[in-house]
Amino acid sequence: MDRTQHGQALVEFAIALPILILLVAGVLELGRGYSYAVAASDAARDGARSVAGKTATTNGPGIAAMCDVVKADLAAVVTPPSSISCATQVGHAPPFVSGVDYAAPAGSNAVVVVYCGASANCTGSVNTLYQSEVDVYVYYGFNDLNLLGGLITISGSSKTTTSW
């Protein structure tokens, strides 16, 4: 193998390396976005389960207790916990409209939106919330890794809904 073939391989590697780096970074971002979506899904499900935790003879725990559950679930991805806006109670059934019913979350922030039917605080009276609808939406905005000094950016948000 002569010197020109070594040089050719080095040039080909130099051309292919940025593309490989972008592919690897893209896969990492996709995985990170998926983990945020899973965290938001878990938080919405646990929040709905918590706020619907009433029976025919007891009241539900209310929105404040539900917010504690959601914040605990999102603690791994949303820091500090003050970045979680919890909870905006909406007086109508879903779908909820960004900018009207809730403020869209900025990067690394979360917004929790709740619909509790006729209840004022998702507690109700003993019989009011029995077998009624509770919807918990968790919206999470995630920031991306700035690739190539910010020339390439991938950003987005994750929305998860749970009805109980």
The confidence band for 131, taking pLDDT boundaries of 50, 70 and 90, is low
The pLDDT tens digits for 53-69 are 665 556 667 788 888 88
Higher pLDDT, 10 or 162: 10
Q: Can you tell me the distance from the alpha carbon of 51 to that of 129, in angstroms, rounded to the nearest whole number? A: 10
For residue 157, the cross-strand partners are 141
The answer, yes or no, to whether residue 128 has pLDDT greater than 50, is: no
The per-residue pLDDT of the chain, averaged, comes to 76
Q: Are 89 and 62 in contact (CB under 8 A)?
A: no
User: What total number of domains does the chain contain?
Assistant: 1
The confidence band for 127, taking pLDDT boundaries of 50, 70 and 90, is low
CA of 58: how far to CAs of 91, 116, 125, 134, in Å? 23, 16, 8, 16
- pLDDT score of 122: 74
The answer, yes or no, to whether residue 155 has pLDDT greater than 60, is: no
- Residue ranges making up the domain that contains 79: 3-163
| This prediction's pTM | 0.72
Q: Can you tell me the distance from the alpha carbon of 132 to that of 94, in angstroms, rounded to the nearest whole number? A: 14
- pLDDT score of 16: 95
H/E stretch holding 3 reads helix 3-51
Nearest Cα residue to 117 out of 60, 159, 46 = 60
